[in-house]
Structure 1
């Protein structure tokens, strides 16, 4: 009886201690049915593997609205609003001081992730987030048309322009009067910044601002890249491309009216829809190099899991982050939501390979991804991006040469920076 009583007391004490140390975390969860399904999976795992509880909060789906809300929450140092959330690739420099330093808790995970994605989440030497899923610019092409015209997928922009012109001419002669060689995102918005980064980096012209915060855009290779892009307008690309964002580009390509398209991975799944005119006719390659001595450079996109620096339960939040970013969770996220994993090992998973063989085509794309200089330019990145896409648009629309645009852009970026990026 005495042993039984002591055992019961020990159990009650242990239960009380567990309850005392149990926290309730608030995690961002998408409002879609697939998003909720994934969140329910995470909740079940988190509450089974830790003594803590998990609640969900919904945030605005629009990226700019969501960032604005976070800036309000963090300005007030609100510890109740959210603990764990997803941050866009270009937010980390803006939100740096409001994000928990994860370095000592996650440094063992680094080898499991695409290096460019991991490096994007390191601010001033500190890991401020873990890649949740990836996005990167990719070049889509019509496999059937390249075969029809006896061509191989291009490796350089020069090859792409030649092949696009050849196919465009042939298809128009065959009666498709509205057929174009190449469509992309040419409107003056963030998507143009992504395209311009790919063009300039592919010609070894840098990334506008280097890792040390130095403005590097005013160079001959950057000017050449922009002039090359401008040469496509009205030749292999419609003048209307100057108003295209992602969906306008996809509509033209998926309707069968273009040989090549620059877009993000989401477009592949849609192109393979049973109702798609180009189903089973689409291939994916890395964004072309700028000449034989250039490099493949896909703009890095995607989202990252981060922890509010004002969370009252940082240890529990770190436990949740590790669950969110392990292989099983990323596999489940891919199966339910359809986004591309940021962990290398998930691409080797037999179930993932069997269900989505096309992912193998994107692995090389992700491996060459180049981040925008958001970490380096900190809170001023939105101004930097606006200056970049307006400069690129001026060249594409014929208002400026590449040489004048990069010189003017350098001057504008120097004014934005002032003494230092802040």
Structure 2
């Protein structure tokens, strides 16, 4: 059994690694700037975005629609989000004019806006983006009440459950734990499979529990560590879940795709994961897929529906672009209703424009669309602050492993660590 001293020592080790990683990034020399096409001909709009299988088709369609006013070139960023961010941060800090439209994870918009790396959306451009866009995704694109990006796609996790094992899907974590324990006693598949490794996935799980408990990690203005009663209740819930005997043995090391594979193999009765698991299950195990249903992510209180953390990507225009007017126009085209539907159906990325969900073509690709919409209409965002990357890193360290959480003590440690992270104003070069 680990004593109190060892427990505190275990939780403080990651802070040293966090500080070292921050210092190492700060010492990296910025990349040489690469100028964009400025020869007086057709402006080249360089789109820097992560790998998306059919995004080139969207780019081609927008280029045809532009009729020669500009030409978008899709520059593929690395697959891993951290690598994407590092490349953009280094080049923007070097005032690289070769970047025009940027694909930003929803957690980066505030950081990039506070560093003056991206332009504010104003006037008709802002009106065009806000029209019909769901509130949760739109909130991720704002900073200090100004719009700095256009939400391209969003995401929320759902509860996936075995209809042959569970009559009614649970609405709370405690109910889900109870159902899983009952299945375990019957010798049935029972595990609740979800992400518990020391990374962003664990932070997302905790953030959803905090919001569902009516809590706050930061103050309303995003400038102070709050860690209120709801945040403590979320720690209690996470620790109770981790020690209930219904998680996978790999829970504290689990990430999205291994969780999907475990469920596909028939090892679980429940899975908490993103919608990408649906088409993968249809292809990998169609017999099991017939027995799998979906429901709203379980909450904390029986009387209060869960508030689920949104993911996704936003499109921003670089402050150093030589063609800002064309870049705003290009970004609007890339995320318009037609192209959001295309990307949703072909690349599995849920739309941010609510009307797209009404399109008949969405019925087959997204049979769970009503549940997704239900969550998106009352969604939770991750803490909106320029320092989010620091906060996420320290939170994942103190939350891992979830079974070792001591709610009041961990809340106090997180309050201090998050306060320190806020002071650094984000990991900037």
State the Cα distance separating 1:125 from its structure 2 match. Answer: 1.7
State the Cα distance separating 1:140 from its structure 2 match. Answer: 1.3
TM-align CA RMSD: 2.3
Q: Which residue of 2 aligns with 1:386?
A: 393
Q: Which residue of 2 aligns with 1:4?
A: none
Q: Which residue of 2 aligns with 1:342?
A: 352
Query: Deviations 1:82-120 (Å, cap 9, x if unpaired)?
Result: 211211011112211111111322224314111010011
Unaligned 5+ residue runs, structure 2? 1-38
Say if 1:168 and 1:259, in contact at 8 Å, map to a contact too: no
| Greater share of helix | 1
- Counterpart-to-counterpart distance in 1, 2:79 and 2:266: 31
C-alpha spacing 1:39/1:168, structure 2 compared with 1 (3 Å): farther
Is 1:144 aligned with 2:164? yes
Query: Deviations 1:236-276 (Å, cap 9, x if unpaired)?
Result: 11342111111221122121111111111111221222534
SS of the equivalent of 1:391 reads: helix
The number of aligned residues is 385
SS of the equivalent of 2:315 reads: strand
- Counterpart-to-counterpart distance in 1, 2:335 and 2:129: 9
C-alpha spacing 1:41/1:388, structure 2 compared with 1 (3 Å): same
- Aligned partner of 1:122 among 142, 150, 153: 142
Q: Which residue of 2 aligns with 1:222?
A: 231
Say if 1:140 and 1:261, in contact at 8 Å, map to a contact too: yes
- Aligned partner of 1:82 among 99, 103, 115: 99
User: Which is higher, the Rg of structure 1 or of structure 2?
Assistant: 1
Query: Deviations 1:352-398 (Å, cap 9, x if unpaired)?
Result: 2245333233221222321111x32x1x222211221222225x232
C-alpha spacing 1:32/1:194, structure 2 compared with 1 (3 Å): closer
- Counterpart-to-counterpart distance in 2, 1:37 and 1:82: 20
Report 1:48-59 matches (<5 A): 48=67, 51-59=69-77
Say if 1:256 and 1:277, in contact at 8 Å, map to a contact too: no
Say if 2:120 and 2:147, in contact at 8 Å, map to a contact too: yes
State the Cα distance separating 1:185 from its structure 2 match. Answer: 0.8
Is 1:157 aligned with 2:173? yes
State the Cα distance separating 1:419 from its structure 2 match. Answer: 9.3
Say if 2:388 and 2:426, in contact at 8 Å, map to a contact too: no
SS of the equivalent of 2:333 reads: helix
- Counterpart-to-counterpart distance in 2, 1:34 and 1:263: 23
- Counterpart-to-counterpart distance in 2, 1:23 and 1:124: 31
Say if 1:26 and 1:54, in contact at 8 Å, map to a contact too: yes
SS of the equivalent of 1:278 reads: helix
- Counterpart-to-counterpart distance in 2, 1:161 and 1:167: 10
- Aligned partner of 2:410 among 391, 402, 405: 405
Say if 1:220 and 1:403, in contact at 8 Å, map to a contact too: no
- Counterpart-to-counterpart distance in 1, 2:85 and 2:181: 42
Say if 2:212 and 2:305, in contact at 8 Å, map to a contact too: yes
SS of the equivalent of 1:139 reads: strand
Q: Which residue of 2 aligns with 1:95?
A: 112
Q: Which residue of 2 aligns with 1:168?
A: 184
Unaligned 5+ residue runs, structure 1? 1-18
Q: Which residue of 2 aligns with 1:366?
A: 376
How high is the TM-score relative to the length of structure 1? 0.85
SS of the equivalent of 1:98 reads: coil
